[in-house]
Amino acid sequence: MTHRCIVCAGTSLKPLYEGILQCRQCNYVFADLGLTDEELFNLYTDRFFCGGEYKDYLADKKILQKNFKLRFRALQPFLERRHKSLFEIGSAYGFFLEVVRNHFDSVQGIDVHERGARYADEHLGLDVIQGDFLQHDFGNEKFDVVCLWDTIEHLREPQLYLRKISSHTESGALIAITTGDVESPVARLRKQKWRLIHPPTHAHYFSTKTLTRLLDSHGFNVIYNRYCGFYRSVDSALYNILVLRHGKSRAYELLQRSGAANFDFYLNLYDIMYVIARRR
């Protein structure tokens, strides 16, 4: 299968790490997955949110919302009166939408994960669609602010999402994205061991340069780009390191029972970029 770079349309690719390719022309990095939409969406089962990539997404609501408040605080200075509607792609259980619902006339989200979408609807009374953003018919609907928190790296073809977002936004609309930066110091140092390199769920590894270029080609100018930190519970950090990375469930359980895991901490590893772009 010939790949074409989604950023520069170049066809000259080289292997960077095992299963990971890099465009020779613009340095864009991505995983060579070859999955169908169905196979990809099937990764986002209940297990992904509970016992998979997340230890227990629902139980972590408080800390997740603490992080969403941080994201929103950075976005607020760019909001104007005309930004009345917000749309979130990959809204999971609706925790971000719940945080910002009172700041907009309407907030809406979409997620392929059925239970999450249902939870947002039934428990939080949010307007969340269960399905694929690319397949859903939004008619003439326009969004003023579109958010993708730690989501763009999961998509099969992010460029198609940006094209569709572009067609459902008007000049002045904002898009807010968080994703790992493959050219960050940590990523360069850790190479294939960088914590965010984990295909098949993470398929796209942007840098400031490649993300800016992709956004630009869909009509968005980057107006903010910072590394963002996040709150984390000691519990989920231990779970990640011990259980996910090293398969040491027993050690994890012991530490958890000892009470050592009942704390939060703030961490900025300078490898997650937070980009806000405005539609031209």
Positions touching Zn ion (CB under 5 A) are: 5, 7-8, 10, 23, 25-26, 28
- CB 8, min distance to Zn ion, A: 3
**Placement of tokens 């405005």 in the chain:** 278
Closer residue to Zn ion (CB): 207 or 236: 207
Closer residue to Zn ion (CB): 7 or 277: 7
CA 198 to chain centre: 14
- CB 205, min distance to Zn ion, A: 13
**Residue 205 dihedral angles phi and psi, to the nearest 5°:** -120, 95
User: Which residue from 121, 261, 270 is spatially nearest to 208, judged by alpha carbons?
Assistant: 270
Closer residue to Zn ion (CB): 29 or 64: 29
Nearest-5° Cα angle at 7, 2 to 9: 45
Closer residue to Zn ion (CB): 12 or 135: 12
DSSP single-letter state for residue 44: S
Reading the block at residue 8, the tokens are: 């520069």
Extended strands (E) in the chain: 13-17, 20-23, 29-31, 85-89, 106-111, 127-130, 145-149, 174-180, 204-205, 220-227, 230-233, 264-267, 272-279
Closer residue to Zn ion (CB): 31 or 97: 31
Closer residue to Zn ion (CB): 26 or 58: 26
Radius of gyration of the chain (CA): 19
CA distances from 28 to 7, 54, 121, 177 (A): 7, 27, 37, 17
